[in-house]
Structure 1
């Protein structure tokens, strides 16, 4: 059977009879109707695809990989002289000539020696000059924590990082770390200090974006650094049967050659054992931060690392007040990561009902604030349950 189908028979009321629920699982294949047509669902429409659109759908789903496409103006002679492949082969085992390695790894075409997209991504000094798609990394810093920030919050000109995959990852990590160190965050002690994300979490997210992105999509990886989060936007939707629900348990490599050969480095950035996102989850939890958020957009997959503590908002507010005389709604939102002013008010009212805090007298409207009561000062734990 060409489809992965699930059937569920449901006995409805007598006047309705029996219903059959058919679930068609997502797959990497492009399927045809009985009449030989390929159709794609878009909202309420069922669009008929032909020619190049079918090929693009196959690449997007992972049925085919764009990394295998030959490049018309990038040949083996030029590829064999790239500094990165020469450095790589110095430590590669078994010892192999450049030409033999490239042919054996299917990084050049047999007939005319044209280099593939995977070869350029892995070893070209500037892949963006030979791959007919945008394949660099852009890093933007927004001095804001808005969900959709205005361009006026963009600090400076976004950086563009380029290079062979291994160097691209290293350069991107260094640039992101440098920018993050300049981002201030309010702590429960009332002091502003550099924001901290687990480096292993950032590394895994960036590595995944480079090795699993859809290189058929003409767009760069975009890393946006906000005051309260980091967003890594990787071009292309999730391949094959992958969804945000199974991304921590299942595996599917859209670019298997890039994944495999990057793993051949002496100290590979990818371990290739399916534990990347598990590492991210564990690292964020160890840092007492909430886990990553996964968002599937129209033509991109986004991973968001929020700098929001695992602790409950009530705990964070009480800890802040034990180090500071008062707290406002604005400070509480920054501290807890809650965007809504009304939601923060509800937290304040909950703590007030528990007798832990009270309004600061004489402070109203925009100047209103809260302080600990005697009970709140005496309490070492959280009494508002």
Structure 2
């Protein structure tokens, strides 16, 4: 579900709006609750949304029907955030009046500037359509990541006059807001003093690079599987493109350049014909690109998003490590957590992105449907790199014979995209030399890798994927 659907539904006449809210699926930014809910129980979704990207809770809808909130209970529910959340969740309340002194309440929750908990001391996080209670370790990691307010909610040094009225107007139309200012405030894109936030500037300024020079995407293509250096640099002529402008413009421009520069090969398709297609499925690299731009660290001013295209793979690098509650070794288990909650929600409104976990699953599905190896995430001291390889996946019988360590060594070779010496494998995998040799020999035994050298003591000997 796109975040804008709630706002679009509310522009309809009351009866149609209520019917639409009953039908809308619950998701990352939307939840329904009965009018009979206890105020302390209402604190759970409020805390969960505040700890994620914000959203809307509608109270007075239950089991596919409108039950409404009795007038005598309205104030207690309006004060649920004040009475049962710590620190107090910021939520704006709207009322839709029904017949018979009953109402439907809409609580619009802003992303929190710290970790919020219920009065009982429980911490929840919105993940898809669930308000998921966090264990001690997850809570601790969330507190580390939320040590300060998300950067995209801080004040930008620019002013509102620098926002592009065409882009602002298009977004206002997308969510059905009554005015540009109301739209910006509804998505937390203005500070309390009415100044644009970092998110507003990156999303709607005509040239956000004036304040954030590294807020762009660089697309490069190499002629060899290794980048090379100096005179051996393999960067293709006229294949180094910087994609600037607002975030939606960057993504659109970068996607067109990747499509143009991506190597193509002829393969038998579902139509029964041999047709040219990119070495990596479009949906896979597009998801990787969108995630890199939306979830990168914009407070790290020394780097930008890079998409590097090689003859056998695509590498996408972005500044900022995964948040602590994410395990990069198990990407399919990643819980929803946005470093830039305002940017993520606006891009969902515009149809650029949906839910992080869903996108990663789709990326894996696309690669597997083409018989290619799974996407590989690696984390450096300051960023994240995604490798989408055009190598065919291993047969199941070969995979079953590999230990976890051997699979990790194979991923190291795949991510490198070039032959590596034993010492390089040892360093990249973070294991001892005897362990590296044992795993490499097992891969060699199965015919997965090949050793190339003049003698057992050849210092230039390397291992490559067969």
Task: Specify every segment of 5 or more residues in structure 2 that has no aligned partner in the other structure, as ranges.
Answer: 1-116, 124-135, 269-273, 399-412, 423-439, 449-453, 455-466
Q: CA RMSD in A?
A: 3.8
Provide the rounded CA distance (Å) in 2 between the counterparts of 1:340 and 1:195. 26
Provide the rounded CA distance (Å) in 2 between the counterparts of 1:174 and 1:140. 13
Aligned-pair CA distance for 1:275: 0.3
Matched, 1:117 2:231: no
1:161 to 239, 243, 255: 243
Provide the rounded CA distance (Å) in 1 between the counterparts of 2:374 and 2:385. 14
1:149 to 228, 234, 239: 228
Aligned-pair CA distance for 1:310: 1.4
Matches within 5 A, 1:339-378: 339=419
Provide the rounded CA distance (Å) in 1 between the counterparts of 2:397 and 2:137. 44
Q: Is the 8 A contact 1:214 1:254 kept in 2?
A: yes
Aligned to 1:138: 218
Provide the rounded CA distance (Å) in 1 between the counterparts of 2:396 and 2:418. 8
Provide the rounded CA distance (Å) in 1 between the counterparts of 2:316 and 2:336. 20
Matches within 5 A, 1:6-85: 27-30=141-144, 63-72=148-157, 74-79=158-163, 81-85=164-168
Matched, 1:176 2:258: yes
Aligned to 1:196: 279
Matched, 1:126 2:207: yes
Aligned-pair CA distance for 1:124: 1.4
Q: Is the 8 A contact 1:294 1:302 kept in 2?
A: yes
2:338 to 232, 244, 253: 253
Provide the rounded CA distance (Å) in 1 between the counterparts of 2:214 and 2:421. 40
Q: For residues 246 and 65 of structure 1, do their structure 2 counterparts lie closer, same or farther at Cα, with a shift above 3 Å needed?
A: farther
Q: For residues 134 and 340 of structure 1, do their structure 2 counterparts lie closer, same or farther at Cα, with a shift above 3 Å needed?
A: closer
Q: How many residues align?
A: 272
Provide the rounded CA distance (Å) in 2 between the counterparts of 1:194 and 1:313. 26
Provide the rounded CA distance (Å) in 2 between the counterparts of 1:350 and 1:273. 36
Aligned to 2:360: 277
Q: Is the 8 A contact 2:336 2:355 kept in 1?
A: no
Aligned to 1:104: 186
Aligned-pair CA distance for 1:248: 1.9
Aligned-pair CA distance for 1:82: 3.1
SS in 2 for 1:289: coil
TM-score by length of 1: 0.62
SS in 2 for 1:233: strand
Matched, 1:239 2:323: yes
Q: Is the 8 A contact 1:71 1:114 kept in 2?
A: yes
Task: Specify every segment of 5 or more residues in structure 1 that has no aligned partner in the other structure, as ranges.
Answer: 5-22, 31-57, 316-332, 352-364, 366-385
Matched, 1:302 2:385: yes
Aligned-pair CA distance for 1:156: 2.7
Provide the rounded CA distance (Å) in 2 between the counterparts of 1:248 and 1:117. 30
Aligned-pair CA distance for 1:120: 1.3
Aligned-pair CA distance for 1:279: 0.4
SS in 1 for 2:388: strand
Provide the rounded CA distance (Å) in 2 between the counterparts of 1:348 and 1:253. 43
Q: Tell me which protein shows more helix as a share of its residues.
A: 2
1:87 to 170, 180, 188: 170
Q: For residues 108 and 24 of structure 1, do their structure 2 counterparts lie closer, same or farther at Cα, with a shift above 3 Å needed?
A: closer
Aligned-pair CA distance for 1:63: 4.9
Aligned-pair CA distance for 1:119: 0.4
The Cα offsets for residues 143-181 of structure 1, whole Å up to 9 and x where unpaired, read as 1112x633511113521001222222121111111100x
Q: Is the 8 A contact 2:153 2:199 kept in 1?
A: yes
